[in-house]
Structures are given as structure tokens and as C-alpha cells.
């Protein structure tokens, strides 16, 4: 089955700086890579996703890059703000089967230092 590794486990950055979180996956058949943000005691919420037919996707301050050959993908947050503090999870799946059986990474706790 799929295995997703995520690094780092914790990350602290100064407000206004950029944050980068990296994930690798093992199953070359995976073709859908979402990123979820989970605030303390809250539900995971999708912040951005990318499918294997593109290499990069951007949404305001958030971008995701995908390298299919190396089987890794990264989340980039620019101009970080205090409200970006949360745990971020990457995930991978093969949506060709018509379902969202996601394999999640172990999470990165991001702390924005004011």
C-alpha cells in the first residue's frame, strides 16, 4: 500500500517569512495530493490540492509543487501570518478508483512567531 512521509514534524518561522513542508510517497499510481490544515480541536480542512497532470498549483499565498519522477510534493506558504499556525497534513491517493481513500503523512506543526 501507499506510504507517505512528511518533514519536518515541527516548523517555526517568523511572521512574514516563508514556510516549506515536504512529503514523499511510495506508490507511483497515486495521482491526487491534497494538503489539509488542522487547527487545535478542529476538523482537517482542505487548503490546496494537486493532481498528477500538473507540476505546480498556486492559490494566493499557498502553492504546491509535485515531482512525479522523484515522488515528492511540497507545500509553500509565503508571507506567513499568525493565523497560519496549525498542523498541516499531506496525503496521497489514486482517485481513478473513484474514491478518496487517502494515506496521510504524520503532520507538521507550524508555528508563526509574531
Partner 1 sequence: DTGVSQDPRHKITKRGQNVTFRCDPISEHNRLYWYRQTLGQGPEFLTYFQNEAQLEKSRLLSDRFSAERPKGSFSTLEIQRTEQGDSAMYLCASSGKSAGELFFGEGSRLTVL
The footprint of partner 1 (CB under 8 A) covers 4, 6, 32, 34, 36, 42-46, 49, 89, 91, 95, 97-107
Nearer to partner 1, 97 or 114 (CB): 97
Handedness of CA 105, 94, 29, 36 (dihedral sign): negative
The string of DSSP letters for 2-57 reads: --EEEE-SEEEEETTS-EEEEEEES-TT--EEEEEEE-TTS--EEEEEEETT-SEE
Compute the least distance from the CB of residue 9 to partner 1, in Å.
8
Report the nearest approach of partner 1 to the CB of residue 16 (Å): 28
* Closest separation in Å from C-beta 58 to partner 1: 18
Task: Give 36 or 73: the residue with its C-beta nearer to partner 1.
Answer: 36
Q: How far is the CB of 56 from partner 1 (least distance, A)?
A: 18
With a CB cutoff of 8 Å and minimum separation 6, the contacts of 89 are 6, 35, 36, 37, 38, 44, 104, 105, 107, 108
**1 by DSSP, 3-state: which?**
coil
Closer CB to partner 1, residue 78 or residue 94? 94
Measured from the CB atom, is 17 or 54 closer to partner 1?
Answer: 54
Amino acid at each position: 500500500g501507499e506510504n507517505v512521509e512528511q518533514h519536518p514534524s515541527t516548523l517555526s518561522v517568523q511572521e512574514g517569512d516563508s514556510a516549506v513542508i515536504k512529503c514523499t510517497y511510495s506508490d507511483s499510481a497515486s495521482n491526487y495530493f491534497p494538503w489539509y490544515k488542522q487547527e487545535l480541536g478542529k476538523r482537517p480542512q482542505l487548503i490546496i490540492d494537486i493532481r498528477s497532470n500538473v507540476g505546480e498549483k498556486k492559490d494566493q499565498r499557498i502553492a504546491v509543487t509535485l515531482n512525479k519522477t522523484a515522488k515528492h510534493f511540497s507545500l509553500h506558504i509565503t508571507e506567513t501570518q499568525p493565523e497560519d499556525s496549525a498542523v498541516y497534513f499531506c496525503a496521497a491517493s489514486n482517485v481513478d478508483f473513484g474514491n478518496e481513500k487517502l494515506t496521510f503523512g504524520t503532520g507538521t506543526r507550524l508555528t508563526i512567531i509574531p
